[in-house]
Amino acid sequence: MNNKSMKSQKKTDKLSKYKPEDLASSIVFPGPENENESRLELVSQYRKEWESKRTPKDRLISQLLQLKFQIEEVIRSDKYDKEKHFGYFLKEYISCLEKKNKEFAEEVDVDPTELSLFINRRRDPPEKFIIRLEIHSNKNFPAIMWYKLIEKEKEYKLMYNNDIRASEYGHVKGKLRISI
Amino acid sequence: MFVNEVQTGNLIEVEVVEIEEKDFEFLSEKDSQFKVFVWKEYKGKEVYKLRLKDSKAILGLMHIVDHLNPNIDAIEIKLLEVRNDNIGKSKKYDFITGCLIAFACRMSFIREHNGFLFLIPKTSLIKHYSQNYGLEYIPPFGPNKTGIMIVNEKLAYRLIKQFLNE
């Protein structure tokens, strides 16, 4: 018996006391390495068949879920990706709906120029705009989620904006002389 | 995300995070409660741990592979193991595997695979993956080969709602 099959035998012994239903609730075993291609072919075929049956509604739901989870991930993450800002996700939201900016601006009653400023990070969106986004998305994208996204960006800017620190230094006449 | 404390029925908050270097040392110790797989062999690969939010105790581990090929376009759960005191009738916590599978489904959406996920089942477990989590079995093309169990976008969202409360 070679090393690998000994390990495998040990594994089987350890698990033999459990019922299959218990193992299915606890373990996923690695599949045999020599069948990778045929298994991937199965996935590929399933994907093709599934794709052919997808309705536009299925696609939209999937895209919106993707967008929502991506936003949540940015909010949750300790890291900050400068590219994943409010404007980026707003643009993605509009794109999921296959709408032009002008058409979307009309639907949420903002000037198209103002919408463009939000998308391109030239202006922070006011509260009323993110509430309109919540209403527009039928509460699927709550205002609080958009708010947290904006806050995340502000937090990053506040922490790493050295220019503003340098310029504000001159306005502070006295400061604590102790560190805690 | 919560697991169920079997004895009390209380829901206990957990989180899934990427494994850290120091965890591999702990997992290699003789008294480690993860004994089925040699996890240190997966160092450098994409491995996640499910842990209790309060004590940070690890309850489950999962190794996933991201299949970027557009024909596959899915995440594969290569390996998953629940801490050995949570296997079988006397388990302390329930839902660990459900939370890990749902986490992988969510990852599949985030990485633009539309929630698609698959794993290779042991023949004796096919029925149970299906009953426990709704995974669909796709039989192999030829004899003496293994099929796959797949999660499509609709099931992925159901699992996410069920186990991640999202």
For the beta carbon of residue A25, count every other beta carbon within 10 angstroms: 25
pLDDT digits (tens, 9 = 90+) for B66-82: 999 999 999 999 999 99
Share of chain B above pLDDT 90, in %: 69
pLDDT tens for chain A, residues 1 to 180:
455 545 555 565 667 778 888 888 888 888 777 767 888 899 999 999 999 999 999 999 999 999 999 999 999 988 888 889 999 999 999 999 999 999 999 999 999 999 999 999 899 999 999 999 999 999 999 999 999 999 998 888 888 888 888 899 889 988 899 999
pLDDT reported for residue B89: 83
* Burial class of residue B114 (count of CB atoms within 10 Å of its CB; 0-12, 13-18, 19+): buried
Indicate the residue of B97, B109, B128 with minimum beta-carbon distance to A66: B109
Q: Tell me the pTM.
A: 0.88
Q: Which residues pair with B62 in a beta bridge?
A: B48, B80
The residue range of the domain holding B21 is 2-164
pLDDT reported for residue A29: 86
Please name the CATH architecture into which domain A61-161 falls.
Orthogonal Bundle (1.10)
pLDDT reported for residue A7: 55
Q: Which two tokens stand for residue A58?
A: 């299925």
Q: Looking at residue B19, what DSSP letter applies? A: -
Q: Please give, rounded to a whole number of angstroms, the shortest distance from the CA of A65 to a CA of chain B.
A: 7
Name the domain count of chain B: 1
Indicate the residue of A21, A30, A43 with minimum beta-carbon distance to B74: A43
Of B27 and A87, the one with more pLDDT: A87
- Quick check: B138 and B93 in contact, CB under 8 A? no
- Quick check: B136 and B130 in contact, CB under 8 A? yes
Q: Which two tokens stand for residue A165?
A: 């620190």
Contact criterion met (CB < 8 Å) for A62 and B141: no
- CATH number of the structural domain spanning residue B26: 3.40.630.30
- The interface pTM score, or ipTM, of the predicted complex is 0.89
Q: Please give, rounded to a whole number of angstroms, the shortest distance from the CA of A178 to a CA of chain B.
A: 34
CA dist A6 → A12, A88, B28, B36 (Å) = 10, 53, 18, 13
Residue A30 with chain B: CB contacts under 8 Å: 37, 78-79, 120
Cα–Cα distance, B89 to B86 (Å, whole number): 8
